[in-house]
Amino acid sequence: MPMAITSTTIPMRRAKKRDWSWLAGYALIALPVLIMVALIFYPAVLALIDTLFVPDATTGVTALSLSNYQAFFKDRILVANLLFTFQVTLTAVALLFVIGYPLALYLRFSKSRLASVVQVLTLFPLFVPGVILAFALIQFLGSHGMLDSLLHAFGFTGFRTPYLQPQGVIIALVWESIPFTVLVLTAGLRQVEDAVVESARDVGANSWQIFMRILLPLSLRSAVIVFCLNVIGIFGAFTIPYLLGPAQPMMMGVSMQQTFNNYQDRVGALTQAVITFLFCAVVGLLYVRTVTRGRKERA
């Protein structure tokens, strides 16, 4: 039959050139990878080695041992610090979702002019350094602070300041993380087309059903990203818990600093750092999986 078809199937011979373009990608990430290895992985490995190889008290010979970790988990104060850190982190992240989703939904769907004002206000904490925030909150929420005086003026007494309480840390950490939370959630919600929402409304779904059955599942990836990065950020927070938090229990960041500076216990601080790092690494893994799965689905 058709000659033309058979003739086009003959492969064209082309001068093969070596393709070096794959190198460009590696060259681009080389510097960040080097910095990461030098500043994060290398010290992390050193810390791990330092905490796992313990010199024998009598002979002085170092050997592989979990004794540093056993010591950590036997110390009631340190375990309380770890649990406290979990508690603060989970409460703050839960609050961030409770505050962040309504704001993100408003910014995604509102057509009013007020939305741009809300957007600016939401992003405002991004431009306030943590130290400034901490002192502002002390001024505002501290005992005999502005809020206390204001309440007094209206006859309310018995205000108990959250300063130096877990609540104070949580308020400040939530305030600090709202911009990021709302930005990422809004971006996720913006990927849901209007017609997707309208067709759900059309078949009879009310606003709550649309949120639970359509918007939440479709913005789940953003929610996981928000969860992971907030957990990692808050779990390892230092400035705010240091300035606003209670003396006991304290968050891991403060605990490490104290162990290192006040007790001069370098290995003890390292052990706490490794435990913090391991927990964050697990959450980080969840983040990486979510992001790479998203890439694959889009490809």
Partner 1 sequence: MSTLELVGLTKHFSGAKQSAETVAVNDINLSVGDGEFLCILGPSGCGKSTTLRMIGGFEEPTSGDVLIDGASVVDMPPNRRPTAMVFQKYTLWPHMRVYDNIAFGLRLRHQDKAQIDKEVRDSLALVGLTGYDRRYPAQLSGGEQQRVALARALVLQPKMLLLDEPFSNLDALLRVRLREELYAIQRRIKITAIFVTHDQEEALSLADRIAVMNAGQLEQLDKPSQIYAYPRTLFVADFIGVMNIFPVQRQGDLLHIGQYALKAPEGLNGESGLSVAVRPEDFTFSATDGAWQGVIDQTIDLGHYRKVLVIVPGLFGDETAALAHRVKVYMPKSVQARAGDRIALTPSRYLVYSDTAVTRTSSATRTSSATPNAQPIEVRNQAVSGEDDR
Of positions 45, 63, 196, 288, contacts partner 1 by CB under 8 A = 196
Give the helix ranges, DSSP H, for 154-193. Answer: 166-190
In angstroms, rounded to a whole number, what is the distance separating the alpha carbons of residues 184 and 193?
A: 16
Q: Return the range that interacts with partner 1 (CB under 8 A); candidates 55-63, 165-173, 200-208, 252-260.
A: 200-208
Cβ proximity to partner 1, 123 vs 221, nearer residue: 221
In angstroms, rounded to a whole number, what is the distance separating the alpha carbons of residues 271 and 275?
A: 6
Cβ proximity to partner 1, 144 vs 213, nearer residue: 213
Nearest distance in Å: CB 116, partner 1: 12
Contact between residue 237 and residue 251 where contact means Cβ atoms under 8 Å apart: yes
Nearest distance in Å: CB 137, partner 1: 39
Q: Return the range that interacts with partner 1 (CB under 8 A); candidates 13-21, 91-99, 196-204, 226-234.
A: 196-204
Of positions 99, 164, 187, 200, contacts partner 1 by CB under 8 A = 200
Nearest distance in Å: CB 93, partner 1: 24
Nearest distance in Å: CB 208, partner 1: 11
Q: What is the DSSP string of 62-131?
A: EEE--HHHHHHHH-HHHHHHHHHHHHHHHHHHHHHHHHHHHHHHHHHH--STHHHHHHHHHHGGGGS-HH
Q: Return the range that interacts with partner 1 (CB under 8 A); candidates 10-18, 146-154, 203-211, 249-257.
A: 203-211
In angstroms, rounded to a whole number, what is the distance separating the alpha carbons of residues 246 and 147?
A: 20
Binding of residue 293 to partner 1 (CB under 8 A) = no
Is the torsion defined by CA of 247, 252, 257, 263 positive or negative? positive
Nearest distance in Å: CB 297, partner 1: 8
Binding of residue 198 to partner 1 (CB under 8 A) = yes
Q: What is the DSSP string of 232-273?
A: HHHHT--HHHHHHS-SSS--HHHHHHHHHHTS--HHHHHHHH
Nearest distance in Å: CB 207, partner 1: 9
Cβ proximity to partner 1, 19 vs 194, nearer residue: 194
In three-state secondary structure terms, 28 is helix
In three-state secondary structure terms, 223 is helix
Paired tokens of 104:
């993100």
Of positions 34, 41, 193, 263, contacts partner 1 by CB under 8 A = 193
Contact between residue 216 and residue 190 where contact means Cβ atoms under 8 Å apart: no
Nearest distance in Å: CB 109, partner 1: 13
In three-state secondary structure terms, 206 is coil
Report 204-233 residues binding partner 1 (CB under 8 A).
Answer: 204-206, 209, 213-214, 217-218
Run of H or E including 158: none
Cβ proximity to partner 1, 102 vs 217, nearer residue: 217
Of positions 12, 17, 58, 202, contacts partner 1 by CB under 8 A = 202
Nearest distance in Å: CB 5, partner 1: 23
Binding stretches for partner 1 (CB under 8 A): 193, 195-196, 198-206, 209, 213-214, 217-218
